[in-house]
Amino acid sequence: MHTILLVEDEWMYRNAVKRALKDEGHHFLEADGGRKALEMVGSNAVDLVLLDLVMPDMDGFAFLKELRLNADWQRIPVCVMTAWADGAKRRKAIDLGADDFVGKPVDNIELETRIKSLLRLSQYQQQLSDLNAELEAKVKERTHYLQAALEELEQAWEQSTRDALTGVFNRRFMWEWLLPQLQQAAREQIPLVCLMMDIDGFKQINDSYGHDMGDEVLTGFTQIAVKCLRGSDIIVRYGGDEFVVLLPKCNLEGGRAVAERVRESVVSSQLSSLKIGGVTCSIGVALYDPKDPLTGTELLKQADRALYEAKNAGRNCVAVSERPIRDDK
Ligand code: GH3
Ligand code: MG
């Protein structure tokens, strides 16, 4: 059963309409002017409005204007009852939000069929809007789920690239950036420097003070090294107490200076006051010269050889490897 609001100041017309639709089983609300009709729309679930245009209180046009201002009422179908000949009034009513017309005086079949079709259209609209709401809820839920999955993935990726103890990049991740960095240096013809750093006598620290103290030294050492680097530099835990650092856009002198800064910072740091004697490190420096480029493996080998030289020179020092190592020689 549908509720139809009949807005008409003449009771004779209201009765004629009700008579015309008596077999349809509708429930009728009646208003003799626009103001009362608005009140009724506000307090009843109205499925359709049958509207006269000329009324003494608030006329049909003013009613339409008010009705369509309210978002909750915008989809209530409104069928205007007017003389067919009155084209200007019909156009104005449509512009104000009316949906259809029936002629006056009322033709029973005309009225019945127009109301049927308007109610059907309104029902379809409602179904469409319910489906839309359902779809929106699903999209929202799916977006939420995908966002959570993405965050989890990002977190997993971040974890898989990091060393669990020190938080710097791990060796597996090193190859992800090493080759692109070398390619960029070659493309831009700007040198870069690779440092290989290793804590001196670390085994002894572990043996004498325990593994936990060893871990503390590793973490402390990493923090000191990071403070000596630029944001664009990359540090990797290469193995136990060995770290690789890549300094993009840096020449040999710059690289040596950074290595010296790390070495000195470690010597004068809190690490040395861990009551385990002085902690020191040795650092090997290797240059990637885009005019005479090395492969990633060659660069690492060269930095490793420089580190070996620093260890041989008595540790707690920086050594530079000037002679490139070639894999094919
Ligand atoms: P050198 O001066 O020649 O570098 O001597 P070293 O004693 O430091 O020798 P090396 O660099 O080979 O020592 C690496 C040691 O680091 C061996 C291993 O037991 C220890 N190690 C590796 N990973 C960890 C770790 O995660 N935590 C701790 N505490 N120790 C580790
Ligand atoms: Mg060591």
The yes-or-no verdict on residue 85 having pLDDT over 80 is: no
Which pLDDT score is estimated for 159? 86
Residue having the nearest C-alpha atom to atom 23 of ligand 1 = 240
Q: 323: buried, middle or exposed (CB in 10 Å: 19+, 13-18, 0-12)?
A: exposed
Q: Where are the domains of the chain?
A: 3-130, 171-321
Mean pLDDT of the 268-288 span: 81
Q: How confident is the model at residue 328 (pLDDT cuts 50, 70, 90)?
A: low
pLDDT tens-place string over residues 36-84: 999 999 999 999 999 999 998 899 999 999 999 999 999 999 999 987 6
Residue 146 has what pLDDT? 97
pLDDT at 286: 97
- The set of catalytic residues is 241
Q: Which atom of ligand 1 is nearest to the CA of 206?
A: 29
pLDDT at 272: 56
Tell me if residue 67 falls in helix, strand or coil.
Answer: helix
What are the residues whose beta carbons fall under 8 Å from the beta carbon of 194, sequence distance 6 or more?
Answer: 244, 245, 246, 247, 255, 285, 286, 287, 288, 299, 300, 302, 303
Sign of CA dihedral 44, 47, 52, 54: positive
State which residues have CB under 5 angstroms from ligand 2, the bound ion: 198-199, 202, 241
Does the pLDDT at position 324 exceed 70?
no
Residue 58 · residue 33 · CB < 8 Å: yes
Q: What is the pLDDT of residue 243?
A: 98
Q: Count how many residues are written for the chain.
A: 329
pLDDT of residue 60: 96
Unique residue bearing structure tokens 């109301």: 115
The model's pLDDT over 185-216, given as tens digits with 9 standing for 90+, comes to 999 999 999 999 999 999 998 998 889 989 99
SS3 123: helix
Give the pLDDT mean for 104-109. 88
Kindly report whether the global pTM for this prediction surpasses the value 0.75: no
Fill in the amino acid letter for 180.
P
How buried is 19 (Cβ within 10 angstroms: 0-12 exposed, 13-18 middle, 19+ buried)? exposed
Ligand 1 centre to CA of 207 (Å) is 10
Mean pLDDT of the chain: 93
| Percent of the chain surpassing pLDDT 70 | 95
The atom of ligand 1 lying closest to the CA of 212 is 29
Given this model, what pLDDT does residue 277 score?
62
pLDDT of residue 317: 97
Q: Which residues pair with 193 in a beta bridge?
A: 247, 287
Average pLDDT of the residues in 275-292: 88
Ligand 1 within 6 A of CB of 37: no
Q: What does the pLDDT read at residue 276?
A: 61
| Candidate from 222-226, 290-294, 316-320 with smallest mean pLDDT | 290-294
Measuring CA to CA, how many Å separate 5 from each of 28, 102, 191, 199, 314? 6, 15, 83, 89, 101
| Rounded CA separation 266/199 (Å) | 10
Locate the ligand 1 atom nearest the alpha carbon of residue 165 and give its number.
26
pLDDT at position 21 is 92
What is the fold, at CATH topology level, of the domain defined by 171-321? Alpha-Beta Plaits (3.30.70)
As a whole number of angstroms, the distance between CA 210 and CA 121 comes to 81
Quick one: tokens of 176? Answer: 């992800």
CATH no. for 3-130:
3.40.50.2300
Ligand 2 center to residue 271 CA distance, Å? 15
Taking only the tens place, the pLDDT of each residue in 113-165 is 999 999 999 999 999 999 999 999 999 999 999 999 999 999 998 889 999 99
Q: How does residue 273 score in pLDDT terms, banded at 50, 70 and 90?
A: low
241: Cβ below 6 Å to ligand 1? yes
Burial of 321 (0-12, 13-18, 19+ CB in 10 A): buried
Residue 176 half-sphere exposure toward CB, CA atoms < 13 A = 12
d(CA 153, CA 77): 50
Angle of helix 202-209 relative to helix 211-227, nearest 10 degrees?
A: 140
Helix, strand, or coil here: 168?
A: coil
